[in-house]
Structure 1
């Protein structure tokens, strides 16, 4: 078959055509820009609890005008202790992130500091307070449930920010998921090839070849669909992002695959037809635990007999997932509303209990995600002025820096992982 590769230059031209007219502004940062009211006793108790927790960690936390605590290691400089304690005392870890957005604390090695915190996530909060989590922790807002309408709103808040924003830090493939490298440390010039390696592994896992009918749930900006079309597959790709769809369609047309690739603005629950192969890359994190059974039943219903599902998913420890599944987090409030990272156990049990799908292969490569995120973060930092020129203010840029560093730290600490799964449909017993 003819291997037609999309043209990199065309990708960059089309990225500039789809730009959000009203980038995220200060109205979204009201909670970060205003320090919450907290009484002196609340601040004092918060300072005491934090000091007891931090003094056991391989960190140095230096408070302006005060002490330094920790066993030594990456430095966190708290410039405004009063505001820092007020935020954490009233909003917990959401307040910790908002305090960074507001510039009340910083770290010369942000990833290093956050990696220490992520590695001790299970014991940062004293056990008595963990038992009272249901009392003090904020609950996930009902407005962010991943119903069909809720999912459209949640997805739009992240992926419709601006195609130009994502093009600032993604490589020429515009792929926004973990790459697979040949070795570490990785270099920016190798990222596009590493993304293609990841995509090809998924397509191989799903058995995609000439003539395959492929359903992709979660289009991104279309690179996987283009790679599948180059193999001769006929691809239906689903997305809820208008911005992503517009650019993906441009890229499909410019690559000459309009007759092989359809990109539909469609919720996975509304999909029809049957397919030889299904691929879904880091989309399950946006489904929500409430709808995981529906998601897996959809995979089963859309899969033709003898078909294969290739699923790439970020995962976290099962106990931590259970502990925090109903809690509203900083990442949900500011980056991925309605999102929830599953555990490997949750994925396998949901597939087993609600479908005839069976996990027949699983491969973890979390270290590769840490490298991917490092390259994105460094690129975003280098292009901060370009983000400002697009209309994204300093608070947003600090938010995005924290998000990328926070995510990288999760993988470097082992708190997060990423897996590629193969699922096949079990034949009913006669």
Structure 2
């Protein structure tokens, strides 16, 4: 059984079309059988056969699943979920299923087959020059402000929260913002540049401290709503459409929360060089970034994955080592403070997904079809699994010029 009959071919050609790759599909079957022998997961095949042992259940509903992952494992697994070729079994949670596989992500494919990756993996397609960066940001952030409002908390903050006991999500988001503002030394009178506005909450909190705030974004949707929210809050802060490479001036503090992931590896040196150029003597840079282990960054940095294909085109998550090395080498910036809180991101994503999946009719009313909703459910659960397994982390950094 499959949900392909629900797919709009014009809107989702890559989902409606199932690859015909019998040899690779057979290899994918064998890899799955081998993997589940050692994983705490149950797999139910289309003919009812059960593989594996105890643990959350992955129910494969169509043989198209094997053709998709055989053609391209990195992209096909997510596409198969979008198409309805698999789902969590009864009583199983999607993130629980994905976390099992995330724990073993680097070794799921046998070493003998990994040497063939360069022949089957696609290169990251979208660049991040000025035109590319604008298009990549619009692809994700200009979907619809109303869509994001369906699952974000009232602060409309779209990055990891930082929880203390008893916090609501909104309180934890404000706590996170205060933390990165503190790392950047933001206080009354501080000239602040924010790179990546979001929907304005950080600018509001910085201005509420008495700082002089300029925030830049490439998203017209975010700019418009951020300006409205700032006016409603009654605080002075400027928000404008501008590429970080085109900013001029001097700032006592620069703050950037989960924007570096969209910069692209090729432009990381330019990003830190821009920060260095704009930072006044004695200034501080407060950075929040998702991170991955450095060896995984090196192994995957050139390969197009499902996230690139459907969610964040052109992006790449850095490692802590890459941040430290490039910041020092390109800009003479040194990390003098760091806070890690990966488990808080898993919790944040869980709360977002609960809100998103609880409102299918509202999201459908905004014009987003069933394939889109499965895509975003997979994205949120996939990301949660990454943080739960430790494959992904998130950190806040304080950087200053080296003496």
TM-score scaled by length of structure 1: 0.89
> Distance in 1 between the 2:110 and 2:24 partners?
16
Once the two structures are superposed, residues 140-169 of structure 1 have per-residue CA deviations (whole angstroms, 9 ceiling, x without a partner) of 12xx10111100000000000000000000
Whether 2:94 is the aligned partner of 1:110: answer yes
Match of 1:8 in 2: none
Once the two structures are superposed, residues 270-328 of structure 1 have per-residue CA deviations (whole angstroms, 9 ceiling, x without a partner) of 11101000000000000011111000111111100000000000000111111110000
> Distance in 2 between the 1:417 and 1:46 partners?
29
**Structure 1 residues 41 and 66, CA gap change in structure 2 (3 angstroms):** farther
Match of 2:176 in 1: 198
Query: Which aligned pairs between 1:287-298 and structure 2 lie closer than 5 A?
Result: 287-298=263-274
Q: Is the 8 A contact 2:255 2:286 kept in 1?
A: yes
> Distance in 1 between the 2:214 and 2:112 partners?
51
Whether 2:356 is the aligned partner of 1:380: answer yes
Match of 1:335 among 311, 324, 327: 311
Match of 1:264 in 2: 240
Matched residue SS, 1:264: strand
Q: Is the 8 A contact 1:87 1:95 kept in 2?
A: yes
Match of 2:197 in 1: 219
Q: Is the 8 A contact 2:197 2:217 kept in 1?
A: yes
Match of 2:20 among 13, 25, 37: 37
Q: Is the 8 A contact 1:63 1:77 kept in 2?
A: yes
TM-score scaled by length of structure 2: 0.95
Q: Is the 8 A contact 1:26 1:393 kept in 2?
A: no
Residue ranges of structure 1 left out of the alignment (5+ in a row) = 1-24
Whether 2:385 is the aligned partner of 1:409: answer yes
Q: Is the 8 A contact 2:248 2:278 kept in 1?
A: yes
Query: Which aligned pairs between 1:40-59 and structure 2 lie closer than 5 A?
Result: 40-59=22-41
Whether 2:348 is the aligned partner of 1:365: answer no
> Distance in 2 between the 1:307 and 1:276 partners?
4
> Distance in 2 between the 1:279 and 1:70 partners?
47
**Structure 1 residues 27 and 158, CA gap change in structure 2 (3 angstroms):** farther
Match of 1:309 in 2: 285
Query: Which aligned pairs between 1:155-194 and structure 2 lie closer than 5 A?
Result: 155-183=137-165, 190-194=168-172
Q: Is the 8 A contact 1:75 1:113 kept in 2?
A: yes
> Distance in 1 between the 2:378 and 2:359 partners?
15
Whether 2:75 is the aligned partner of 1:99: answer no
Match of 1:132 in 2: 116
Whether 2:46 is the aligned partner of 1:64: answer yes
Across the aligned residues of Structure 1 and Structure 2, the Cα RMSD in angstroms comes to 1.2
Match of 2:231 in 1: 253
Match of 2:3 in 1: none
Matched residue SS, 1:169: coil
Whether 2:214 is the aligned partner of 1:236: answer yes
> Distance in 1 between the 2:112 and 2:98 partners?
24
> Distance in 1 between the 2:113 and 2:303 partners?
14
Work out which structure has the larger RCO, using CA pairs closer than 8 Å and 6 or more positions apart in sequence.
Answer: 1
> Distance in 1 between the 2:132 and 2:197 partners?
18
Once the two structures are superposed, residues 87-140 of structure 1 have per-residue CA deviations (whole angstroms, 9 ceiling, x without a partner) of 011122201100000111000311101001111011001111222221121221
Matched residue SS, 1:308: strand
> Distance in 2 between the 1:57 and 1:100 partners?
20
> Distance in 1 between the 2:10 and 2:391 partners?
33
Bigger drift between 398-407 and 122-131 goes to: 122-131
Q: Is the 8 A contact 2:183 2:337 kept in 1?
A: no
Size of the aligned set, in residue pairs, is 393
The CA deviation at 1:72 is: 2.2
